[in-house]
Structure 1
Amino acid sequence: MKRDYSKPKKRLFHRQKTLNRSMAGNLTLFLFMAVCGVFMVLPLIMVVNNALKPLDELFRYPPKIFVRNPEFDNFSDLFVLMSNSWVPLSRYILNTVIITGGGTIGHVLFASLAAYPLAKHNFPGKNILFKIVVLSLMFSWQVTQIPNYMIISWLGINNTYLAVILPAFAYGLGLYLIKQFMEQIPDSLVESARLDGANEYRIFWAIIMPNVKPAWLTLAVLQFQSMWGNTGSTYLRSEQLKPLQYALQQIVNSGPARQGAAAVVTFIIAAIPITFFIICQSSIIETMTTSGMKE
């Protein structure tokens, strides 16, 4: 049967909702958000200023937020400390890239692969499996630390990169987030792709993943922050396998004489995740504004 294209298509006009707020209400809301923004950015400003403070300003009480005599001696002290360490700085950086990158990419990939059948397929035990995933979110990492260590030891991958990377694949929050977002994609779009001859892998990579880009970008930011803060001290015994975070924390715990280098360490620990978030945030906002599919 041929479709009749002679009839004009009806257009649906949606009336945009307008907010009726007075000038005083807008001003009050702006002031409230400005105060909240100042309180949120104030710790970051203090971290940056502490990295530039000399030792006499770091030990001053009460502490000052802004630096008066900025200098870069703290950065040079940190560089000297890391250069004189038994393990070179490049090795710590390489370990961090492997652990953080592997854990982030692997978690996003495995969470997406596991969320797709839960969101777009019907099979026995689907609801039970999803309830188990939700239930796993109720337990903190301290509760599962001993069972995780026993499993890692049983697999024989203790004191390896996999001991830190592999547990990151099974983080339940990522699967929950991706699954909830995949359910917003119309089932008719998936069925149309199947009628056109696309297999499940083609549907997953060409249709599902591009449309859930905001979800897995957000998940990548959260997982990157989690992996960046992982010192690996539970599973990694060899000094040559430990990440940069471990070496930086050792400097922080070295006492008052290294407070200048410790301030730079705090700056580096905060700057890397924030930079990664800023880079991904533009993509998340852009994708959210250009996507959004409805039946």
Structure 2
Amino acid sequence: MSKSVAANPSKQGFNRKKLISKFISYFFLLLLTCITIVPFIWTVSISLKGQNDVIFSIPPQFIPNTFTLENFITVWNTLPIPRYLLNTVFLTFFGVVLPLIFCSFAAYPLARMKFKGMNLIFILIIATMMIPNEVTMIPVYLVIDKLGLMGTYTGIIITGAITPLGIFLMRQGFKEIPREIEESAVIDGANVWQIFWKLMFPMVKPMLGVLAILCFISSWNNFLWPLLILDDPNKYPITLGLYQLQGAFSANTRLIAAGALIALIPVIVVFIAFQRYFIEAAYSSSVKG
């Protein structure tokens, strides 16, 4: 084997270039990972530091001199965190389930059916992604006010029930399914609803998982819209609760970091649980491409 490689300099040079390219790729990925994870590690460090530990120092002190959970206990006892988490779970549940259903309903005909103006409709839907949310916030706010939904969870949920990004993702998922499967179902006597719900919908689980993660993160971290709609502190999600925490402890960075971690833990758990769908969706897209 070594003689064949030595006898073929071009192959040896190709392997060397491939090794160097892989090394550079891994180096930059490792560098990017370090850049993105440092703020998280710093937040964890601050939340575990005692009152005598220095927070802001050069170089940063990531390892506390005294580990303590007092910051988490103080935040938990000061604010109604369980109530905020329960409100957030309620909003996030509908913020995930409704987009999965409605975006699938909208994407299926755009991917599997042929009708006049189909491409134009899809282009118009995608074009709305270029419009900032701040531009549409005022007219949507006025509509919610006219409907009498101010101060209600419904006014928050319906605005995110369907998204252009969700339609785009689900359309790509439906388009990857071979036509032969659908034709076989038609021959067996299945109607449109049966084909969609019993055949097509289960086959796009990877894309559903990706959309579920994105909707979960968006709903869980939603801050500005609940701030505009809700006026009862008992209905606040965790993001608004942390906003109150910052107002109560504007100078206590330790408590703010502890509260941020309490809100971040569910997001990490959900992402770890559903990350395989990201991999499956990326792999299926790359194979089709």
1:69-148 equivalence runs, <5 A: 69-82=66-79, 88-148=80-140
SS of match in other structure, 1:57: coil
**In structure 2, do the counterparts of structure 1 residues 223 and 20 end up closer, same or farther at CA, with 3 Å as the change threshold?**
farther
Q: Find the aligned partners of 2:175 and 2:263 in 1 and give their Cα distance.
A: 36
- 2:49 aligned with 1:53, yes or no? yes
Q: Contact 1:52/1:70 (CA < 8 Å) preserved in 2?
A: yes
Q: Contact 1:185/1:293 (CA < 8 Å) preserved in 2?
A: no
- 2:257 aligned with 1:271, yes or no? no
Deviation at 1:66, TM superposition (A): 2.9
Q: Which residue identity does 1:30 align to in structure 2? A: Y
**How high is the TM-score relative to the length of structure 1?**
0.83
| Root-mean-square deviation (Å) | 2.5
Which residue of 210, 218, 225 corresponds with 2:217? 225
Q: Deviations over 1:156-189 (max 9, x none)?
A: 2221111111011132111111112211212221
**In structure 2, do the counterparts of structure 1 residues 78 and 190 end up closer, same or farther at CA, with 3 Å as the change threshold?**
same
Identity of aligned residues (%): 31
SS of match in other structure, 2:252: helix
Q: Which residue identity does 2:175 align to in structure 1? A: E
**How high is the TM-score relative to the length of structure 2?**
0.85
Q: Which residue identity does 1:140 align to in structure 2? A: P
Q: Find the aligned partners of 2:284 and 2:273 in 1 and give their Cα distance.
A: 18
Q: Find the aligned partners of 2:229 and 2:150 in 1 and give their Cα distance.
A: 6
Higher helix share: 2
Q: Find the aligned partners of 1:241 and 1:257 in 2 and give their Cα distance.
A: 26
For 1:39, the equivalent position in structure 2 comes to 35
**In structure 2, do the counterparts of structure 1 residues 129 and 242 end up closer, same or farther at CA, with 3 Å as the change threshold?**
same
Gaps of 5+ in 1: 1-17, 83-87
**In structure 2, do the counterparts of structure 1 residues 139 and 288 end up closer, same or farther at CA, with 3 Å as the change threshold?**
closer
**In structure 2, do the counterparts of structure 1 residues 75 and 255 end up closer, same or farther at CA, with 3 Å as the change threshold?**
closer
Q: Find the aligned partners of 2:187 and 2:18 in 1 and give their Cα distance.
A: 53
Q: Contact 2:210/2:277 (CA < 8 Å) preserved in 1?
A: no
For 1:29, the equivalent position in structure 2 comes to 25
For 2:242, the equivalent position in structure 1 comes to 248
**In structure 2, do the counterparts of structure 1 residues 212 and 19 end up closer, same or farther at CA, with 3 Å as the change threshold?**
farther
Q: Which residue identity does 1:156 align to in structure 2? A: G
Deviation at 1:280, TM superposition (A): 0.3
For 1:211, the equivalent position in structure 2 comes to 203
**In structure 2, do the counterparts of structure 1 residues 29 and 172 end up closer, same or farther at CA, with 3 Å as the change threshold?**
closer
Q: Deviations over 1:53-73 (max 9, x none)?
A: 123435443342332321111
Q: Contact 1:213/1:284 (CA < 8 Å) preserved in 2?
A: no
Give aligned pairs, total.
272
Deviation at 1:213, TM superposition (A): 1.2
- 2:182 aligned with 1:185, yes or no? no
For 2:5, the equivalent position in structure 1 comes to none
Q: Find the aligned partners of 1:65 and 1:200 in 2 and give their Cα distance.
A: 58
Deviation at 1:80, TM superposition (A): 1.7
Between 1:243-252 and 1:276-285, the stretch displaced more is 276-285
Deviation at 1:193, TM superposition (A): 0.7
